[in-house]
Amino acid sequence: MSKKINILDDITINKIAAGEVVERPSSVTKELIENSIDANSTQIVIDITDGGKKQIRITDNGSGILSSEVDKSFLRHATSKIKKIDDLYDLYSLGFRGEALASIASVSRLEMITKTKEEPIGTKVILEGGKEILKEPVGTKNGTTIIIKDLFFNTPARQKFLKSTHAETINISDLINKLAIGNTDIQFKYINNGKLMLNTPGDGKLISVIRSIYGKEIVENLIKINEKGEYCSISGYIGNNNIYRSNKNLQHIYINNRFVKSKIILDAINESYKSIIPINKHGICFLNIDINPSKIDVNIHPTKMEIKFENDKDLYIEIRDLLKRKLLNTALIGKYESYD
């Protein structure tokens, strides 16, 4: 017997979609901080309890949301960042899919307090499992605070897959480091279970953020990069031949200020280090690669961590050669002399 076909209700749709964007506390944290960045904030405070499993609180001093727009922000496919598909090819914001808030709200207890500078009073809303249970005007400062409690309280199967507080905390700390490195003009303050973990100055200097996170030894062994090629411009820092790691954890790559996982760019960087550092070791880098947004596609995965390039081969060669030249010019202090 053929079965009846159901049209799913919005809450069910959001919960299913949340499976793609909201995998763990660090993915919630990422979406919320990216929203704060897109709102032109200059200060973002992140306060985490129990690896984000109990609570994630993000406070920013950005644009805020008009009281008449607050409900809309929790709707699926509701975004202020694009209007039409062509806008994706001229995109400078981190968000554009309009699904993070809808997804996160559907699997948590969410509270938002927000105020724009255009309005004298702000708005507070509380949602549980995507249903609004309170909305009232509230006196508050300009900007937005979002508090996420009890992630996956209504999807026990997902909750079971959360890792230990320690493991979830490491994920969140890594993520905050990455976002702080990519946004040097924003002051990031990160508090974990009441302890201050990171406080970047927000002075626009990449080296200040690297120093806040990794300390003096790394900073003293960095080479400044500011190169313009045919397909891209590269700026930031790479490690000299005195510092390297056995893993790739200190290879931070950003495309147009969005941190990404890009095998092709990592390969280009590692290739440029060949014969400069020992085999099987990895150089350190904090690099932003600027590419014309019309030459890349960021819409290939919901988390937007992957990117497609129009001309990967040219890009690979250009990045490899630019870095190699810089490394050969400045990094070789005689320790590993056999290079070709």
Q: Which option in Mg ion, ligand ADP, none does residue 80 bind, with CB closer than 5 to 8 A by kind?
A: ligand ADP
Contacts of 160 (CB under 8 A, 6+ apart): none
Q: Which two tokens stand for residue 185?
A: 């003009």
Q: Cβ of residue 310: shortest distance to ligand ADP, in angstroms? A: 24
Query: What residues line the site for ligand ADP (CB under 6 A)?
Result: 31, 35-36, 39, 60, 62-65, 73, 78-81, 95-102, 144
Task: State the binding partner of 241 from Mg ion, ligand ADP, none, CB within 5 to 8 A by kind.
Answer: none
Q: For 95, list phi and psi in degrees, rounded to 5.
A: -95, 160
For 221-258, the DSSP string reads: TEEEEEEE-SS-EEEEEEE-TT--BSSSTTEEEEETTE
Write the Ramachandran bin of 327: left for phi over 0, alpha for psi from -120 to 50, otherwise beta: alpha
**Residue closer to ligand ADP, measured from CB, 45 or 296:** 45
Residue 97 interacting partner from ligand ADP, Mg ion, none (CB closer than 5 to 8 Å by kind):
ligand ADP
Are 219 and 210 within 8 A, CB to CB? yes
Beta bridge partners, 224, equal 237
Nearer Cβ to Mg ion (25/95)? 95
Q: Taking the complex as a whole, how short is the minimal distance between the CB of residue 95 and ligand ADP, in angstroms?
A: 2
98 binds, among Mg ion, ligand ADP, none (CB under 5 to 8 A by kind): ligand ADP
Judging by beta carbons within 10 Å of its beta carbon (0-12, 13-18, 19+), is residue 73 exposed, middle or buried?
buried
| DSSP assignments along 176-202, one per residue | HHHHHHH-TTSEEEEEETTEEEEE---
Per partner kind, with CB cut-offs from 5 to 8 A, the member of Mg ion, ligand ADP, none near residue 96 is ligand ADP
In whole angstroms, how close is the CB of 278 to ligand ADP at the nearest point?
Answer: 43
Give 35 or 59: the residue with its C-beta nearer to Mg ion.
Answer: 35
Question: Between residues 96 and 214, which has the closer beta carbon with respect to ligand ADP?
Answer: 96
Question: Measured from the CB atom, is 105 or 225 closer to ligand ADP?
Answer: 105
Query: Which residues does 299 contact at the CB level (< 8 Å), separation at least 6?
Result: 88, 96
Residues in contact with Mg ion by the rule CB under 5 A: 35, 95, 100
Q: How far is the CB of 294 from Mg ion (least distance, A)?
A: 22
* Choice between 100 and 276, CB closer to Mg ion: 100
User: Using CB distances below 5 to 8 A depending on partner kind, what does residue 81 bind out of ligand ADP, Mg ion, none?
Assistant: ligand ADP
